[in-house]
Amino acid sequence: MSIETDALDALYAQIKPKGVTMTALLAKAIGVALAQHPLMYATLSSDATSVTYNERVNIAVAVALDGGLITPVLADAANTDIFQIGRAWKELVAKARSKSLSPAEYNSGNFTVSNLGMYGVDCFDAILPPGQGAILAIGASKKCVVPVDGMIGVKTIMTVNLTADHRHINGDKAAEFLQTLKEVIEAPNNLLM
């Protein structure tokens, strides 16, 4: 899905001096959208016979390390203040790079995010981690010429790709989540509440 990020970028410019990274801001937006679609962060049983709905949105975010990657978890991203998320993310990244994360800090996610936008990757497909229902791949934001009110304008657009376990998440449910995510990112002022 293509998502306009001009409003998100403006919000980011306001809160970046307060220690909030774009990763933290995106995690908050994704958490808010996920909270409206509990199936997207639900867990399928190991025998694929039942679905457990999780109480909190725990977003695992991929972090590259020398020789691999790890996914520190931003717990309860939907209900946590954006500034708390910013502080938690900074701490988690430092722990990940020093290889001092506790197991609870990297194995409690119920939805994963992989962001290669900072490397200039426009779009990619992420592989679904075992035990999770979905992973969101985030590409770089790019200036694009688009129609604006019957005229030609320039907007900043990013592409996100969703990989979902179709044993319990049908395509229509995944698409509804992406529509909500688009709405949250394109009108992000509620992320400060």
Can you list the positions of beta strands (E) in the chain?
A: 2-4, 43-44, 51-52, 59-61, 63-65, 68-70, 73-74, 111-115, 134-138, 142-148, 151-164
- CA-CA distances (angstroms) from residue 187 to 8, 21, 175, 184? 8, 18, 18, 5
Catalytic residue among 18, 143, 166, 167: 166
Alpha-carbon distance of 24 to 115, in angstroms, equals 11
Q: What's the confidence (pLDDT) of residue 66?
A: 87
Q: Per-residue pLDDT tens for 18-58?
A: 999 999 999 999 999 999 999 999 999 989 899 999 999 99
> What CATH number is given to the structural domain containing 52?
3.30.559.10
14: pLDDT strictly greater than 90 = yes
Alpha-carbon distance of 2 to 125, in angstroms, equals 14
Q: Which domain holds residue 101?
A: 2-192
Q: How many structural domains are present in the chain? A: 1
168 in catalytic set: no
193: pLDDT strictly greater than 90 = no
Residue range 174-189: mean pLDDT, rounded: 97
Q: Per-residue pLDDT tens for 61-118?
A: 999 988 889 999 999 999 999 999 999 999 999 999 999 999 999 999 999 999 999 8
